[in-house]
Amino acid sequence: MTTINKTSPEFVSWFNACQTMIDTYMSNSFPSLDREVLEIEEGSKFIKVVKVGRHQRCVYAFVAKSSFTTKTFGTVNAGEIYKPSSYKAPAKHARGSILDASNGMSRMTCYGPEYLR
């Protein structure tokens, strides 16, 4: 059974790629604004990635730490990336996985995971 934590190589690679994407976007589009930094908060089932700006904190994404099943989400696999529904909870459906070939970056933007199509 795969378990993801904030020091897992897959998570670190995904996290650094997301930070680089945000840095590139901000420096090209808004060079005079302060840098937005990603921070990690670990919960019991999900790792919460928070984007911190000068005057705000917003959830960027949630990453499942291990595989589990719930009534609300159904089956959740370790490494799945979820869009935030609120500051404390992820939305229902996974937007990708940090364990896939693209390291989860195929559905990520500088604002977080893409909406479902």
List the domain boundaries for the chain: 9-113
Task: Give yes or no for a contact between 63 and 79, defined as CB atoms under 8 angstroms apart.
Answer: yes
pLDDT tens per residue, range 12-57: 999 999 999 999 999 999 999 999 999 999 999 999 999 999 889 9
pTM of the predicted protein model: 0.93
pLDDT, position 117 = 74
- Residues 80-102 have a mean pLDDT of 94
Structure tokens at 59: 């959830």
pLDDT, position 1 = 64
Q: Please give the helix or strand (H or E) that residue 58 lies within, else none.
A: strand 57-64
Residue located via tokens 């609120």: 86
Mean of pLDDT over the chain: 93
pLDDT tens per residue, range 55-88: 899 999 999 999 999 998 899 999 999 999 999 9
Q: How big is the chain, counted in residues?
A: 117
